[in-house]
Structure 1
Amino acid sequence: MASIKNLKKDINYVLGDIIEAVYVWETVNNKTNSEEGNQIIDEAIEVFDELITKVNDKSVEDRKKHLSQIQNELEEKSKQLVEKLNALA
């Protein structure tokens, strides 16, 4: 793990890109403010809040292992969100 700062940036950029992709999908398909898109966006925001809370938790014993688990969780959850986004098309 490089740093907490970089992990927070990764979380922000990855989930932000997924939200942006939903907006692009809505624009391309003329489905502005679609229910499907809003569900993915809401889920991405929940994942963001959850992961940032975990990053800021300083009460863990092995901080390095904890942050590594968060990185893995980010990858897993972002893949799930991308799969849901791809299913829309």
Structure 2
Amino acid sequence: MASVKDLKKDINYVLGDIIEAVYFWEAKKGNKNSKEGSALIDDAIKVFDDLIAKVNKKDVESRSKHLNGVKTELEEKATGLVEKLNKLG
């Protein structure tokens, strides 16, 4: 299991990269602050908040299994966000 510190960094970097990709897409399309881009950024921020709250949760039966589950959830949700971004074109 990776450390909690590394997991928090992974969450931050992965979701930060997705948000940056949305900004790049908006700039490429010449449509800053688009409705679609803003919605995707909001989703990424919600995922970030949810995952960080789960990482910080201390009253779990098996901390190791819990953190591995958070890591898996990060991968799944990040993949979903990237798929939404790719659909934007």
- The runs of 5 or more residues in structure 1 that have no matched partner are none
Gaps of 5+ in 2: none
1:19 partner SS: helix
Structure 1 position 74, deviation (Å): 0.1
The yes-or-no answer on 1:82 pairing with 2:44 is no
Aligned length: 89
C-alpha distance after superposition, 1:43-85 (max 9, x if no partner): 0000000000000000001000000000000000000000000
Distance 2:63 2:26 in 1: 40
Name the % identity.
65
Q: What CA RMSD, in Å, does the superposition of the two structures yield over aligned residues?
A: 0.3
Question: Where has structure 1 moved over 6 Å in runs of 4 or more?
Answer: none
Q: 1:2 deviation in Å?
A: 1.5
In structure 1, the residue matched to 2:11 is 11
Question: 1:2-81 to 2 correspondence within 5 Å?
Answer: 2-81=2-81
